[in-house]
Every structure is written in structure tokens, then in C-alpha cells.
């Protein structure tokens, strides 16, 4: 079978190669890989900036945004042949820390967790793959290829869950949210925010096209404007920041509101020292009981929340988030960003 592999640490090492078909072990599902979502992490893997091969191997099968169809399941399994599923990405550390031991492997304390397609375990970027059924999640068959959005949706479902749990430390009745960035994470964060009944406002740079249309279709409000101006106008209870851009972070931090929760999901790089006045920012946070919350990854519970959120969403809206489907034979094209891309997926059987 064909698989997408990289040599971690070596730039441009990605290739499609023939490898042995996987053999399911005890408690594992054998799965036909249908499509694979591509994101910034995969580009970093291809650039040699990130990633670890399994012990004893030189190359890593990449791919963490999976969608597959079950070929065979162990006897007595809740899964059966033909089920559409996705595979959970992270696995607890082999000698689990307390968080991993309690199933909260997204909150791993020692950093020894492993991740399929990223860190020490082969991913889902192959025509067949196996997955421990405890780390498989069923996908509503009506979603079609939109099921590949479950991985990014799990990250967002966790973020909203974190916001709600932090909010629950005192009375919490959020009415408005600002989502910064209308990429796949921002769009899915907006979807879940709307599903929760919030008045959602989305800020992004683009002025027209698919992103504003998709936000309007959700019943949310799109702003192509300065983030600070939007925050001043909307005065949100929740901010979900997906860009990691320094000017955005500065604008958000300068506008703390009483009991507001800012959840950071974006990862940026510092290009020049920022002029955020930390002491007065800290003082404002104290006086407002404000929370700045970072969130990454997702555990099985969040994957199930995400599956419910996608099952409840408009299927054609979700389908519109997938702007290109590239056959495996033209894999390189999936890694060449195009202007109107939102989510690019690879058809593993084409
Ligand atoms: Zn990803
Ligand atoms: Zn751990």
C-alpha cells in the first residue's frame, strides 16, 4: 500500500512510498484510509521543523486529520465493517503521568505523550491503517469527506469546554464571543459558538469571498476590521484567538473585560519585541477577574463532543470548508498553499 512519509528533521523529505500493509493487533480496527486533512503541522513536518519517527525507524508516516472506513473489527466491538471513523491523535505516555492515567492525555504533564503522524507513532496518511478501538470515534456517514474536519473540530470542542469549565468557577452566562481568524479552526470555533447560542463575531483580514459568506451562513457577524475596534464595539464575554499574531495578542490583552475569558489557540512567532505594558495589563486582569487560557489537543471526550457538533451542523456548510481535494498521486499540490484555501484534503485512494 502507499503511505506518505517524512524523515523528521530533514527539509523536503516527504514522499509517497510503498510500505507493508498493517496487521491489526488485539483490540485494533483495520481501516481503509479515505482522505486526510492537511494542516500547518504537516507543513512543519515536511519542512523538517518538527516530528519524531518511531523508535528504530528513520521515517514517519504522517497524517493526523484522518477519515477511514472500517474493514474489520474485533469480535464484540461496538464498531463494524463499513463504519466511518476517525482516529484520535494523541496517546498517553508509556509510563503515564497522572493526567494521562486519568484519560486527560491532552493535558499531559511530562511531555512524553506520543501522537500519531507527529510524534513516535505512524499516522493515518496511508491507504490502510489500524487503530486501537478505544481511540476511534464514529463519524456521521452523512458528513462524507467532511468527517476529516473532526480532528480540528476536536481541538475547538476542547477549547469551548475549557472556556465553560473555567467560566463555571462563578456565575457565567456568556452572550457574545469574538473569534479572531477565519481559518478552519476559527470557522469551527464559530460554528460551535453559534450552536451554544452565542452572538458570534469573527474578525479576519479578507474583505470578501468564501470566509465572509460562510460566517454569514452561520448567522454570525463577519468583520474585516482592526481587532481592537471590533473588541471595543462588541465587548465580548469570550475571545477565541486562532492567529497567534503579535498585534492581535496585544490588542486582545489591552482590552480585558470583567470576567472575560480569552482562549488562545494560535501559535505565532515573535518577530520584533512587543510593547505590551505587562504591569498594567496584569493589573487590569486582576481587577477584572480575567482569564487568559491556552488550549491544545483533545482527549476522547472532546472528540466525541466534536462528532456531535459536526453531526448537528449543516452538511453543505461543512463541505464548503473543504476547498480542495488532491489525489495522493499529486500530493505535492496539497502542500502548495493557494489563496482561497480553507481546508485541503488528500484522497488516499486516488
Ligand atoms: Zn492538523
Ligand atoms: Zn502524560
Count the domains in the chain.
Answer: 2
Q: What is the CATH number of the domain that holds 211?
A: 3.40.50.720
pLDDT of 216 > 90? The answer is yes
Decide if 307 is inside a domain. Answer: no
What is the pLDDT, as a whole number, of residue 191? 98
Grid cell of 229 as nine digits: 475596534
Q: What is the mean pLDDT of the chain?
A: 96
Residue 289 contacts residue 309 (beta carbons within 8 Å): no
- In this prediction, residue 7 carries a pLDDT of 98
* pLDDT at residue 8 greater than cutoff 80: yes
Distance 276 CA to ligand 1 centre (A): 30
The residue ranges of DSSP E strands in 73-220, in sequence order, are: 84-87, 90-91, 114-116, 120-121, 128-132, 136-138, 176-180, 199-203
pTM of the model: 0.96
Distance 204 CA to ligand 2 centre (A): 35
Residues with CB under 5 A from ligand 1 (ion): 39, 41
Residues 169 and 113 in one domain: no
**Domain ranges, residue 247:** 154-294
High-pLDDT (> 70) share of the chain, %: 100
CA of 244 to the centre of ligand 1 (A): 16
CA atoms within 13 A on the CB side of 288: 20
Distance between CA atoms of residues 222 and 184, nearest Å: 15
pLDDT given at position 276: 86
Q: Residue 308 domain-assigned?
A: no
Nearest ligand to the C-alpha of residue 110? 2
Residues 165 and 290 in one domain: yes
Alpha helices in the chain (DSSP H): 40-46, 98-101, 150-167, 184-195, 210-218, 227-234, 246-253, 278-287, 300-312, 315-321, 331-334
pLDDT computed for residue 261 by the predictor: 98
323 shares a domain with 248? no
Q: Does 159 share its domain with 68?
A: no
Same domain, 93 and 174: no
Q: What pLDDT was estimated at residue 271?
A: 84
State the distance from the centre of ligand 2 to the C-alpha of 121, rounded, in angstroms: 16
Give a yes or no: residue 147 inside a domain.
Answer: no
CA 105 to ligand 2 center in whole angstroms: 6
CATH classification of the domain holding 9? 3.90.180.10
Are residue 158 and residue 237 in the same domain, yes or no?
A: yes
Query: Of the bound ligands, which one is closest to the alpha carbon of residue 99?
Result: 2
CA–CA separation, 135 and 109 (whole Å): 20
CB 165 within 8 A of CB 107: no
Rg of the chain on CA atoms, in Å: 20
pLDDT of residue 274: 77
The Å distance, Cα 277 to ligand 1 centre, comes to: 33
**Cell numbers found for residue 266:** 494560535
Name the band, by pLDDT with cuts 50, 70 and 90, for residue 306. very high
> Based on the domain organization, do 208 and 113 belong to the same domain?
no
Q: For residues 158 and 106, is the Cβ–Cβ distance under 8 A?
A: yes
Q: Is 301 among the domain residues?
A: no
Amino acid at each position: 500500500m502507499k503511505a506518505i512519509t517524512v524523515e523528521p528533521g530533514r527539509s523536503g523529505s516527504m514522499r509517497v512510498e510503498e510500505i507493508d500493509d498493517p496487521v491489526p493487533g488485539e483490540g485494533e480496527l483495520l481501516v481503509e484510509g479515505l482522505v486526510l486533512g492537511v494542516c500547518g503541522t504537516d507543513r512543519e513536518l515536511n519542512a523538517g521543523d518538527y516530528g519524531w519517527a518511531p523508535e528504530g525507524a528513520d521515517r514517519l508516516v504522517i497524517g493526523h486529520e484522518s477519515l477511514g472506513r472500517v474493514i474489520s473489527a474485533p469480535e464484540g466491538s461496538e464498531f463494524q465493517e463499513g463504519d466511518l471513523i476517525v482516529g484520535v491523535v494523541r496517546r498517553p505516555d508509556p509510563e503515564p503521568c497522572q493526567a494521562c492515567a486519568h484519560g486527560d492525555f491532552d493535558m499531559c504533564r511530562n511531555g512524553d505523550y506520543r501522537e500519531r503522524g507527529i510524534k513516535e507513532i505512524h499516522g493515518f496518511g496511508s491507504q490502510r491503517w489500524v487503530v486501537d478501538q478505544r481511540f476511534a470515534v464514529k463519524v456521521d456517514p452523512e458528513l462524507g469527506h467532511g468527517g476529516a474536519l473532526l480532528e480540528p473540530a476536536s481541538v475547538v470542542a476542547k477549547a469551548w469546554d475549557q472556556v465553560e469549565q473555567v467560566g463555571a468557577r462563578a456565575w457565567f452566562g456568556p452572550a457574545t464571543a469574538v473569534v479572531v481568524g477565519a481559518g478552519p479552526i476559527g470557522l469551527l470555533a464559530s460554528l460551535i459558538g453559534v450552536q451554544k447560542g452565542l452572538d458570534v463575531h469573527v474578525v479576519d483580514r479578507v474583505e470578501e469571498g468564501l470566509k465572509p459568506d460562510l460566517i454569514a451562513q452561520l448567522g454570525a457577524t463577519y468583520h474585516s476590521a482592526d481587532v481592537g475596534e471590533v473588541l471595543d464595539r462588541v465587548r465580548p464575554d469570550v475571545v477565541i484567538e486562532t492567529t497567534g499574531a503579535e498585534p492581535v495578542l496585544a490588542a486582545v490583552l489591552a482590552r480585558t473585560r470583567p470576567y472575560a475569558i480569552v482562549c488562545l489557540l494560535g501559535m505565532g512567532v515573535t518577530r520584533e519585541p512587543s510593547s505590551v505594558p505587562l504591569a498594567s495589563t496584569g493589573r487590569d486582569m486582576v481587577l477584572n477577574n480575567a482569564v487568559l487560557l491556552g488550549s491544545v489537543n483533545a482527549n476522547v471526550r472532546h472528540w466525541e463532543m466534536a462528532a456531535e457538533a459536526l453531526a448537528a451542523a449543516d452538511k453543505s456548510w461543512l463541505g464548503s470548508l473543504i476547498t480542495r481535494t488532491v489525489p495522493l498521486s499529486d500530493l505535492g499540490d496539497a502542500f502548495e498553499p493557494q489563496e482561497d484555501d480553507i481546508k485541503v484534503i488528500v484522497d488516499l485512494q486516488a
